[in-house]
Structure 1
Amino acid sequence: MSACRYNADMTATLSPEQIAALCRPSAQPVRIRIVEETGSTNADLLAGLPMLAGPTLLLAKHQTAGRGRAGRTWLSAQGKSLTFSLAWKFGVPVHALVGLPLAVGVALAEALAMFNIDVKLKWPNDLLYNGRKLAGILIESAGAGSVPHDVSWAVIGIGINMSLDQSVSEHIGRPVASIPWMAELDQNTLMAGLLSGLADALVQFEHEGLAAFTGRWNSLDAYAGQVVTIIDNGQVVHEGIGAGVDGIGRFLIDTPGGRVAVMAGDVSLRPREA
Structure 2
Amino acid sequence: MRPNSPAERPATAPRLEALLALLADGCFHSGDAIGQAAGVSRAAIWKVVEQLRALGVPIEAVRGRGYRLPKPVELLAVDVIQQHLSQLGAPRLPLEVLLQCDSTNRVLLERAKAGEGNQLLTTEVQTAGRGRWGRRWIAPFGSTLCLSLLWRFPVLPHGLAGLSLAIGIVCAEALGRLGVGIRLKWPNDLLLDGRKLGGILVELVGEVSGPCSVVIGLGMNLADAELIAEDAGQPVAALSEADVGLARQRNLLLATLAAAMMHACERFAEEGFRAFHSQWLGYDHLAGKPVVLSLPREEVRGIARGVDTQGALLLEREGLVETWISGDLRLRLRHDASA
TM-score range, shorter chain: 0.7 to 0.9
- The 2-side partners of 1:72 and 1:94 are apart by 31
Is contact 1:15–1:188 with CA below 8 Å preserved after alignment? yes
- The 2-side partners of 1:261 and 1:50 are apart by 33
Is contact 2:147–2:254 with CA below 8 Å preserved after alignment? no
Shift of 1:16: 1.1
Query: Secondary structure at the residue paired with 2:130?
Result: coil
Change in CA separation of 1:184 and 1:253 when aligned onto 2, cut-off 3 Å: closer
Structure 1, unaligned stretches of length 5 or more? 1-5
Does structure 1 residue 242 correspond to structure 2 residue 304?
Answer: yes
- 1:178 corresponds to which residue? 238
Is contact 1:30–1:54 with CA below 8 Å preserved after alignment? no
Query: Secondary structure at the residue paired with 1:66?
Result: strand
Shift of 1:170: 9.1
- 1:166 corresponds to which residue? 226
Is contact 1:63–1:83 with CA below 8 Å preserved after alignment? yes
The equivalent position to 1:135 in structure 2, one of 186, 198, 214, is 198
The equivalent position to 2:85 in structure 1, one of 8, 23, 26, is 23
- The 2-side partners of 1:222 and 1:76 are apart by 25
Q: For residue 121 of structure 1, what is the amino acid of its counterpart?
A: L
Matches within 5 A, 1:88-167: 88-93=151-156, 96-143=159-206, 150-167=210-227
- The 2-side partners of 1:190 and 1:45 are apart by 21
Shift of 1:227: 1.0
Shift of 1:198: 1.0
TM superposition score normalised by structure 2: 0.72
Structure 2, unaligned stretches of length 5 or more? 1-24, 27-70
Change in CA separation of 1:94 and 1:33 when aligned onto 2, cut-off 3 Å: farther
Matches within 5 A, 1:40-119: 40-51=103-114, 53-93=116-156, 96-119=159-182
Is contact 2:152–2:213 with CA below 8 Å preserved after alignment? yes
- The 2-side partners of 1:170 and 1:127 are apart by 14
- The 1-side partners of 2:246 and 2:89 are apart by 26
Between stretches 173-182 and 63-72, larger displacement belongs to 173-182
- The 2-side partners of 1:30 and 1:170 are apart by 29
Does structure 1 residue 266 correspond to structure 2 residue 318?
Answer: no
Change in CA separation of 1:199 and 1:167 when aligned onto 2, cut-off 3 Å: closer
Is contact 2:295–2:329 with CA below 8 Å preserved after alignment? yes
Percent of aligned positions that are identical: 36
Between stretches 252-261 and 170-179, larger displacement belongs to 170-179
Query: Based on CA coordinates, which of the two structures has the bigger radius of gyration?
Result: 2
Is contact 1:93–1:143 with CA below 8 Å preserved after alignment? no
Q: For residue 261 of structure 1, what is the amino acid of its counterpart?
A: T
Task: Provide the alpha-carbon RMSD of the alignment.
Answer: 2.4
